[in-house]
Chains A and B, each alone.
Chain A
């Protein structure tokens, strides 16, 4: 008797885990194609269009090519760490999704199932903790390769990640003060409320409550996922390829996947925190059934996340790279004090609000 009931409990969870895993990895593959297509568009080229219709099978061809490339381990490299590094980068990047809600509840066979793998109380703190672990993959790769360019890349990455992790955490403290919870589902639910201005309803999205917090989080998210204009750890005109100079074959592909998966996590977080997650504004008036609304919500979540992914690509092909000292200056003398000021201002506003209202 125990086994069937246990299976019934586990089935939705397993479906959600494998579903999220499959979607994220597929999205990662197609994000590389999107990156190449958009870069081509921005630079007035055509981009990959040979494999399949409109080049849509290009990620598959890339994957096959990566798998069949010769896998070289440099003789002077530290073997264990060299092999471990790509996995240490990719695994935390994939683990971040576990707490991000991608939809409201759906009703299957009389049971309410939340569209989220794990609804935990510490939500956002878990994501920050996991994001902090991905730095080990970067500097382990840089150190184990036994190459001075790799080592410099690893050093830069650890300094950059520590600095921007701090601002990443601090920039959402204001938002956490407003929401009063660290549970990501509660945060989204709070954003489904409205302000009434005349006859217009404005959704209570985080970006209206915390515009400065949103901007600071966006900047830190770009730096945390090592994307241009903050991709100093792998600046190719200074460091050949940075921490992954010595990597080839599928190991290199794993670094690549780690970077794109990190982008998806950050975009999903931005959506959850500042753009109402799966909330579709003004949809409640339509009076749709629970399941239809939930599926539309998942669509909205994907669309909002997609917008941020596009922003990532757009910025990469538009802005030049920072200098390393400028990068550090921006973090410690720009974003950090502004984030502190944001926390202080939010605190004062909340205090006054609670006194006056």
Chain B
């Protein structure tokens, strides 16, 4: 009884996540692609929940569904492409080869993935208490994996700075702002 519901949920949401991912590739309408991506992302979040990785599931929802795809859709709405501008779907040699290679890779890798999953040990009680909680993830991130975590944050910071530089490239350099200027400007508005 207790194992039936998680199993059903697992199959339903695995199917949904794969279907969403396929629809992102196949669809012509960018808005439908973005919404399929949301379906895929949210299904993955539910799979994380089933693996009792609660914090990861919520982070997936906040970061991917709540921010990244929203920005995609923001751009799609700004462009607002019509069907004529998108053109009709055409088969080309490259697309055919690409699809063939993708399917072939999947088939080649699938047996190895199957082998790499460890069989559940007899009397396996599942995840220990507190596994995947905010506290557990936090302790791992700021303890054992502190260096990779901080390096990743530097990587993201440099990407952010690069984004600002690229976006502001055409603007004239203005006089530098100090903290005092910022405070004055804040209280003036």
Contact B65 A122, beta carbon cutoff 8 Å: no
A158 within 8 A of B: yes
Contact A165 B67, beta carbon cutoff 8 Å: yes
Measured between beta carbons, the chain B residues less than 8 angstroms from A135 are 66, 70
Contact B58 A154, beta carbon cutoff 8 Å: no
Contact A151 B61, beta carbon cutoff 8 Å: no
For residues 111 through 157 of chain A, which have their beta carbon under 8 Å from a beta carbon of chain B? 120-122, 125-126, 128-130, 132-133, 135-136, 139-140, 142-143, 151, 154-155
A42 within 8 A of B: no
Question: CA A121 – CA B58 in complex, angstroms?
Answer: 11
Q: Which residue among A136, A142, A143 has the maximum number of chain B CB atoms within 10 Å of its CB?
A: A136
Known: A132-B61, A132-B67, A161-B70. A121 touches B77 (CB 8 A): no
Contact B80 A121, beta carbon cutoff 8 Å: no
Measured between beta carbons, the chain B residues less than 8 angstroms from A154 are 77
Contact B182 A158, beta carbon cutoff 8 Å: no
For residues 57 through 80 of chain B, which have their beta carbon under 8 Å from a beta carbon of chain A? 58-59, 61-62, 65-67, 70-71, 73-74, 77-78, 80
Contact B31 A125, beta carbon cutoff 8 Å: no
**What is the chain A residue whose CB lies nearest that of B58?**
A125
Measured between beta carbons, the chain B residues less than 8 angstroms from A142 are 77
Measured between beta carbons, the chain B residues less than 8 angstroms from A155 are 74, 77-78
Known: A125-B134, A333-B182. A158 touches B73 (CB 8 A): yes
B91 within 8 A of A: no
A192 within 8 A of B: no
Question: CA A162 – CA B66 in complex, angstroms?
Answer: 8
Task: Report how many A-B pairs have Cβ atoms within 8 Å.
Answer: 80
A306 within 8 A of B: no
Contact A162 B61, beta carbon cutoff 8 Å: no
Contact A129 B62, beta carbon cutoff 8 Å: yes
B1 within 8 A of A: yes
Measured between beta carbons, the chain B residues less than 8 angstroms from A109 are none
B18-43 interface code vs A (CB 8 A; 1 in, 0 out): 00000000000001000100100000
Contact A151 B134, beta carbon cutoff 8 Å: no
Interface size on B, residues (CB 8 A): 26
A279-298 interface code vs B (CB 8 A; 1 in, 0 out): 00000000000000000000
B146-186 interface code vs A (CB 8 A; 1 in, 0 out): 00000000000000000000000000000000000010011
Question: CA A206 – CA B143 in complex, angstroms?
Answer: 29
Contact A129 B61, beta carbon cutoff 8 Å: yes
Question: Chain A interface residue count: which class?
Answer: 20 to 34
Contact B186 A129, beta carbon cutoff 8 Å: no
Cβ distance A4 to chain B, nearest Cβ, rounded Å: 14
**What is the chain B residue whose CB lies nearest that of A127?**
B58
Cβ distance A2 to chain B, nearest Cβ, rounded Å: 7
Contact A158 B74, beta carbon cutoff 8 Å: yes
Question: CA A135 – CA B133 in complex, angstroms?
Answer: 27
A252 within 8 A of B: no
Cβ distance B17 to chain A, nearest Cβ, rounded Å: 16
**What is the chain B residue whose CB lies nearest that of A144?**
B31
A182 within 8 A of B: yes
Sample of 26 A–B contacts (CB below 8 Å): A122-B55, A122-B58, A125-B62, A125-B134, A129-B65, A129-B66, A130-B61, A132-B62, A132-B66, A133-B61, A133-B65, A133-B66, A135-B70, A136-B35, A139-B74, A142-B77, A143-B31, A143-B80, A154-B77, A155-B77, A155-B78, A158-B73, A162-B66, A162-B71, A182-B134, A334-B186
**A139-B73, A155-B78 known, 12 other contacts, Cβ within 8 Å:** A121-B133, A125-B59, A128-B62, A129-B62, A133-B65, A135-B66, A154-B77, A155-B77, A158-B70, A162-B74, A333-B182, A334-B186
Q: Which residues of B contact A (CB under 8 A)?
A: 1, 31, 35, 38, 54-55, 58-59, 61-62, 65-67, 70-71, 73-74, 77-78, 80, 133-134, 182, 185-186, 189
**The 6 nearest A-B residue pairs measured at CB:** A132-B66, A129-B61, A125-B58, A122-B54, A129-B62, A129-B58
